[in-house]
Amino acid sequence: MEQESKKNELIGHAQIFYSGFKECMELKYLKNSPQSIIDGAKRIMNVVVNREIEVLETYIATLGNISSISPYIGLLGTVWGIMNIFYKINDYTNFTIQSIAPDVSDALSTTAMSLFVAIPALISFNKLSVKSNMIAQNYLNFSEECASILYRKIFFKQD
């Protein structure tokens, strides 16, 4: 029971190694052929790698959505504000730039605020996407290295 709780605490490389090694030992205990032991360990490590990548990429899509949608929300606010200005102009018989300047400022500030949200979200999205891809590739390389080591231990060191 304690071993199972510790297994659930593992992440990344430790989880990949643990799962592959555990599968290898179980298949070896069940007297499977050396090739089926290697194949089983590779399969379970691939599953764990895919789960780890899924965890890494959980919220990256949200940043992408925020960075792509927020300028449109700002544009909508600007258009809405400009339309309200035109309605006010229509109601006034005698208007000046001072009477509509605050409304123009409000309309344009929605665009500025949306860009204030979109730009950092886009930068974060790009940085995290690159970092996530690097980590994912590292996990894949690690699982292949583990499989290679298992292969050498099983096939070339018959104890």
How would DSSP label each residue in 42-86? HHHHHHHHHHHHHHHTTTHHHHHHHHHHHHHHHHHHHHHHHHHHH
Q: Specify the number of domains making up the chain.
A: 1
pLDDT digits (tens, 9 = 90+) for 80-108: 988 888 888 877 767 777 778 888 888 88
pTM above 0.75, yes or no: no
Residue-range definition of the domain harbouring residue 53: 1-156
Place of tokens 């050396």: 34
Helix axes 12-29 and 34-56, enclosed angle (nearest 10): 160
Joined together, the tokens standing for residue 1 give 């029971």
Q: Which of 19-33, 53-67, 96-110 has the highest mean pLDDT?
A: 53-67
pLDDT digits (tens, 9 = 90+) for 118-144: 999 999 999 999 999 999 999 999 999
